[in-house]
């Protein structure tokens, strides 16, 4: 049973909290997806202050968890809440209310709207972008070091963008598939590939979950990289699951992204998430059915010279399970 709940809430107070239909709907939506207060307001057709007012007693009762992401507050159901039979019954009632008013089905639209932010941003024509600098001797050092890797037949660069990571991957792996869903971004990567004469790189326009990409990957990649991609994902765990499906059994997933920060200006770069806590990345890896997840903070001197060089960077490294994976629907 829910610890009546983690504080001073008694059982009768729990019944009182769950007696309001708006709170039941909020609870059901928060159980379905972690949502911002603004998104909940849209789904429920209420003002944000009203939504916040209803969330407060749910939070006080330990039924939902709220976390800050810059100026946004995100709400999800507490992990232990649904184990309580009273709360489980309230969830069923709230879900029925949300199915009746259509708010549950509209969560899909909320996620699509999140995705459209990044999709539209990266589809914009790129002007004034400098051509790639000449490749320096580091490529030779990478090629030499790569001979120590036990498996380096195929790497996938997910969300390749301008292809900057290809300067490392192409000298290290026998084959590289660089995939992006934006033709604008692939044109930038193509300029790099031609300038570098990377004969072992295949550029592919595709969604990460597309069957065409899976066909090109075949039995699976030795390593799948996603550099600064996760913070654009509407549901980060879904993206990591897609990365995992591209690896061979026992293959590695390497996700380079930001640690938690509060720079709201990065939303102008289509950032949906202002970084991730290390524990959050480990939880995402676990939910994606990955093993041996490790998160390493990167020194600031390694974070380049771009608009995001002032942010804290980290890398998640995890492995696909060694046994054959069952295909997900």
* pLDDT of amino acid 12: 78
Same domain, 100 and 148: no
Return the number of other C-beta atoms located less than 10 Å from residue 31's C-beta.
20
Contacts of 226 (CB under 8 A, 6+ apart): 158, 159, 239, 243, 253, 254, 255, 256, 257
Question: What's the CA gap between 64 and 77, in Å, rounded?
Answer: 4
Same domain, 17 and 145: no
Helix (H) / strand (E) element for 69: namely strand 64-69
Specify the residue for token string 């709940």: 5
For the chain, what is the domain count?
A: 2
Q: What is the pLDDT of residues 41-83, one digit of tens each?
A: 999 999 999 999 999 999 999 999 999 999 999 999 998 888 8
> 26-35, 51-60, 75-84, 240-249 — which is least confidently predicted?
75-84
Angle at 25 between CA 21 and CA 27, to 5 degrees: 115
Question: For residue 11, is pLDDT > 70?
Answer: yes
Buried b (16+ CB within 10 A) or exposed e, 77-99: bbeebbebeebeebbebbbebbe
- Answer yes or no: is 2 within a domain: no
CA distances from 302 to 100, 120, 168, 316 (A): 52, 29, 14, 16
Span 19-28, average pLDDT:
95
> 98-107, 130-139, 282-291 — which is least confidently predicted?
130-139
* pLDDT of amino acid 303: 93
What share of the chain has pLDDT > 90, as a percent?
Answer: 85
* pLDDT of amino acid 7: 45
Same domain, 45 and 172: no
* Reported confidence tier of residue 127, pLDDT bands at 50, 70, 90: low
Span 167-192, average pLDDT:
97
Q: Which two tokens stand for residue 313?
A: 């960077």
Question: For residue 206, is pLDDT > 80?
Answer: yes
* pLDDT of amino acid 1: 46
Beta bridge partners of 77: 64
CB 247 within 8 A of CB 317: no
Span 257-278, average pLDDT:
96
- Answer yes or no: is 5 within a domain: no
What is the chain's percent helix, strand, coil content, to nearest 5? 45, 20, 35
Mean pLDDT of the chain: 92
Same domain, 154 and 295: yes
* Reported confidence tier of residue 244, pLDDT bands at 50, 70, 90: very high
- Residue 197 three-state SS: coil
CB 175 within 8 A of CB 203: no
Same domain, 222 and 92: no
CATH of the domain at 204: 3.40.50.150
CB 21 within 8 A of CB 14: no
Provide the domain limits for residue 243.
138-319
Span 124-143, average pLDDT:
79
Contacts of 153 (CB under 8 A, 6+ apart): 173, 174, 175, 222
């Amino acid at each position: 049973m829910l610890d009546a709940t983690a504080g001073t809430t008694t059982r009768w107070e729990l019944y009182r909290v769950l007696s309001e239909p708006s709170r039941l709907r909020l609870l059901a939506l928060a159980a379905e997806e972690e949502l911002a207060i603004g998104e909940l307001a849209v789904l429920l057709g209420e003002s944000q202050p009203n939504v916040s007012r209803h969330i407060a007693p749910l939070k006080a009762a330990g039924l939902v968890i709220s976390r800050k992401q810059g100026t946004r507050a995100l709400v999800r159901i507490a992990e232990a809440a649904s184990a309580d039979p009273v709360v489980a019954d309230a969830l069923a009632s709230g879900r029925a209310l949300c199915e009746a008013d259509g708010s549950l089905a509209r969560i899909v639209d909320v996620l699509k709207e999140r995705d459209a932010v990044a999709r539209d941003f990266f589809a914009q024509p790129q002007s004034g972008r400098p051509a790639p600098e000449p490749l320096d001797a580091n490529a030779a050092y990478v090629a030499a070091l790569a001979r120590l890797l036990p498996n380096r037949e195929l790497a996938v660069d997910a969300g390749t963008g301008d292809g900057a990571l290809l300067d490392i991957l192409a000298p290290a792996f026998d084959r590289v598939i660089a995939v992006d869903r934006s033709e604008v971004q692939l044109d930038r990567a193509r300029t790099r590939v031609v300038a570098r004469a990377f004969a072992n790189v295949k550029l592919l326009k595709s969604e990460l979950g597309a069957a065409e990409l899976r066909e090109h990957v075949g039995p699976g990649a030795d390593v799948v990289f996603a550099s600064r991609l996760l913070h654009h994902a509407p549901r980060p765990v879904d993206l990591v699951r897609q990365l995992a499906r591209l690896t061979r059994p026992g293959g590695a997933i390497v996700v380079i992204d930001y640690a938690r920060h509060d720079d709201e200006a990065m939303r102008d770069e289509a950032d949906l998430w202002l970084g991730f806590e290390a524990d959050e990345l480990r939880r995402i890896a676990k939910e994606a059915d990955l093993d041996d997840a490790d998160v390493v903070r990167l020194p600031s001197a390694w974070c380049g010279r771009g608009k995001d060089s002032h942010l804290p960077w980290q890398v998640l490294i995890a492995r696909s399970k060694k046994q054959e994976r069952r295909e997900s629907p």
